[in-house]
Amino acid sequence: MKKFKKVLAMGLFISLCLGIVGCSAKAPDSSSTEKPANTSDSTDTSGSGKKVEITIATNWGEGDSKYDYFYPAFQKFQEENKDTMDIKLQTYGTEDYKTKIKVQTASGDLPDAFTYWGGSMMNDMIEAGLLANVDTYFNDSTAVKRDDFNPASFAYYTSADGNTYGVPIESTRGVFLANKDLFDQYGLQFPKTYEELKEVSKVFNDNGIIPIAIGSSGGTPSEFFFSELYNQYSGAAEEIQNLATTKKFATENALKVANNIKNMIDDKMFPADTVANGGWAASLQLYTDRKAAMTYTYPWMFESIPEDIQNSSEIIPVPMLPDASVDPAGMMTGFTVYGFVINKKSYEDQAKHEAMIKVCDFLASNDLSVELTKSGMIPAKNIEVDLSSQKIIYQKMMNFSKDKTLTQVHFTTMPKASAITAMDSSLDELFISGITPQEFIDKVQAELDRN
């Protein structure tokens, strides 16, 4: 069996925000649930006569692609520790989860350990002194060490104070999918340039097929696609990497991308209703239903791609824009996107300390990371994964990425979470031609300039 060793070769600067979405930033929302703890009367290892109560929170709930793999692993961990811990699992839909954590940050009452995004999303918690420096955990753990991860993967969780406040779990890649069967049906070749993209788009439109299934609802998947296009310009990669310190979104490159997106809208490359067909799930659905010839998505959506569509899909470079200078055939977006953080108060509580180490060991374990790869996740940890056991689309992604330079997205380096929100809402407006490209740029920059 072929095996590959996951090694992240990217340089992430800190700051972010997100969705994700998917995604896992910006993933589909699921309702809030709390899984009950085991209620046996056994005592804990501290000799207090009571079991330690631990709460783990995540947006990997029912409806998220990782739930089917995470929850059985959690149940096993819960069962193994039922004599010493009452472990509760709280799950929420992504947007509800962000709201819940924001409220708990304000009250200073966060879960004991919880999955979360890095960058600007964790800034309020850091400023309030609510998160533990994960180096303290690594020093205490005998099972997990910082050296188990590629050093670059921690940049996303490293704050301006130089300390690291999260353990990375998930890396990701952006993929541009093309349905080979549809291209073959109409005698078309995969487009490499914008002019070629215009030509195939006309053929598909004439035959009632949407050229590219990309919409914009809450900035997804348009936000990540914007960054993918952005990296085609000279100096763009450095601009994204340095965004946390420069706080400059209004660049010449940003305006070029916004203008090209407007041209794509005018050339009818996207669905007519980009809001209704926005969001990760809705955009992908058009593609999996064979109503669209191409789409742009991320691995957290692989679970939603039927096997026949995986077989007929090819991962291709995003066509090169007419005024671009960096060939997209040699790159793809790739970055750390998700992990977990530790409640400092809980970790420093001597009654909970040993239990907290065990919980963190579970969340950072090789076994859990390997399980999550089955949902399409790329581990942020340096572990061996049996590639042949993965979905065909996962295999295609990893093979495609072998010789590619990995680039970042604005999502991971934006210094203010509110600026990501502004970017998302403004992209929604741009995609319905409600604002001009320049107005889009100005709106995002205005939020970055706001004190």
pLDDT in tens, 274-283: 999 999 999 9
Cis peptide before 221 (omega within 30 of 0): yes
The total number of structural domains in the chain stands at 2
Shared-domain flag, residues 293 and 379: no
Decide if pLDDT at 12 tops 60: no
- The CA angle 347-13-18, to the nearest 5 degrees, is 70
When pLDDT is averaged across residues 59-69 and rounded to a whole number, the result is: 91
Predicted local confidence at residue 126, as pLDDT? 96
Predicted local confidence at residue 32, as pLDDT? 57
Predicted local confidence at residue 151, as pLDDT? 86
Predicted local confidence at residue 35, as pLDDT? 60
Decide if pLDDT at 6 tops 80: no
Confidence category of residue 28, pLDDT binned at 50, 70, 90? very low
Q: Which of 46-55, 149-158, 194-203, 374-383 is predicted with the least confidence, judged by mean pLDDT?
A: 46-55
Shared-domain flag, residues 28 and 152: yes
**CA distance linking residue 262 with residue 257, whole number of Å:** 9
When pLDDT is averaged across residues 249-273 and rounded to a whole number, the result is: 98
When pLDDT is averaged across residues 286-306 and rounded to a whole number, the result is: 97
Shared-domain flag, residues 168 and 181: no
Predicted local confidence at residue 64, as pLDDT? 87
Predicted local confidence at residue 48, as pLDDT? 52
End-to-end CA distance of the chain: 55
**CA distance linking residue 428 with residue 422, whole number of Å:** 10
Predicted local confidence at residue 150, as pLDDT? 84
Decide if pLDDT at 16 tops 50: no
One-letter identity of residue 418: S
424-428, long-range: CB within 8 Å, 24+ apart, which pairs? 424/218, 424/219, 424/220, 424/223, 425/218, 425/219, 427/216, 427/219, 427/222, 427/223, 427/226, 428/216, 428/217, 428/218, 428/219, 428/222, 428/274, 428/275, 428/278
When pLDDT is averaged across residues 237-264 and rounded to a whole number, the result is: 96
Confidence category of residue 50, pLDDT binned at 50, 70, 90? confident
Contact in structure between 156 and 14 (CB atoms under 8 Å): yes
Shared-domain flag, residues 346 and 444: no
Confidence category of residue 18, pLDDT binned at 50, 70, 90? very low
Predicted local confidence at residue 34, as pLDDT? 65
Decide if pLDDT at 20 tops 50: no
Contact in structure between 300 and 24 (CB atoms under 8 Å): yes
How many C-beta atoms surround the C-beta of residue 267 within 10 A?
A: 15
Q: Which of 131-135, 238-242, 334-338 is predicted with the least confidence, judged by mean pLDDT?
A: 334-338
Contact in structure between 338 and 352 (CB atoms under 8 Å): no
User: Using CB atoms within 10 A of its CB, is residue 103 exposed (0-12), middle (13-18) or buried (19+)?
Assistant: exposed
Task: Write down the H helix ranges in 157-246.
Answer: 180-185, 194-206, 222-230, 236-241, 243-246
User: Using CB atoms within 10 A of its CB, is residue 82 exposed (0-12), middle (13-18) or buried (19+)?
Assistant: middle
When pLDDT is averaged across residues 133-150 and rounded to a whole number, the result is: 96
Confidence category of residue 204, pLDDT binned at 50, 70, 90? very high
Predicted local confidence at residue 248, as pLDDT? 97
Decide if pLDDT at 65 tops 90: no
pLDDT digits (tens, 9 = 90+) for 330-359: 999 999 989 999 999 999 999 999 999 999
Predicted local confidence at residue 33, as pLDDT? 66
**CA distance linking residue 25 with residue 170, whole number of Å:** 10
**CA distance linking residue 164 with residue 118, whole number of Å:** 10
Contact in structure between 343 and 269 (CB atoms under 8 Å): no
Shared-domain flag, residues 186 and 166: no
Q: Specify the CATH number for the domain of residue 379.
A: 3.40.190.10
Confidence category of residue 109, pLDDT binned at 50, 70, 90? very high
Shared-domain flag, residues 125 and 231: no
When pLDDT is averaged across residues 389-397 and rounded to a whole number, the result is: 93
Shared-domain flag, residues 298 and 349: no
**CA distance linking residue 173 with residue 192, whole number of Å:** 20
Shared-domain flag, residues 356 and 424: no
Decide if pLDDT at 146 tops 80: yes
Decide if pLDDT at 17 tops 70: no
Shared-domain flag, residues 69 and 101: yes
**CA distance linking residue 303 with residue 104, whole number of Å:** 31
pLDDT digits (tens, 9 = 90+) for 209-238: 999 999 999 999 999 999 999 999 999 999
Shared-domain flag, residues 8 and 141: yes
Confidence category of residue 10, pLDDT binned at 50, 70, 90? very low
Helices 67-80 and 366-373, interaxial angle, to 10°? 150
Decide if pLDDT at 36 tops 90: no
Give me the chain's average pLDDT, please. 90
Residue-range definition of the domain harbouring residue 185: 175-332+411-449
Shared-domain flag, residues 231 and 105: no
- The CA angle 100-105-108, to the nearest 5 degrees, is 125
3-state secondary structure of 232: coil
Shared-domain flag, residues 243 and 382: no
Decide if pLDDT at 3 tops 50: no
Q: Which of 43-52, 297-306, 423-432 is predicted with the least confidence, judged by mean pLDDT?
A: 43-52
When pLDDT is averaged across residues 19-40 and rounded to a whole number, the result is: 46
- The CA angle 344-347-348, to the nearest 5 degrees, is 85
Confidence category of residue 2, pLDDT binned at 50, 70, 90? very low
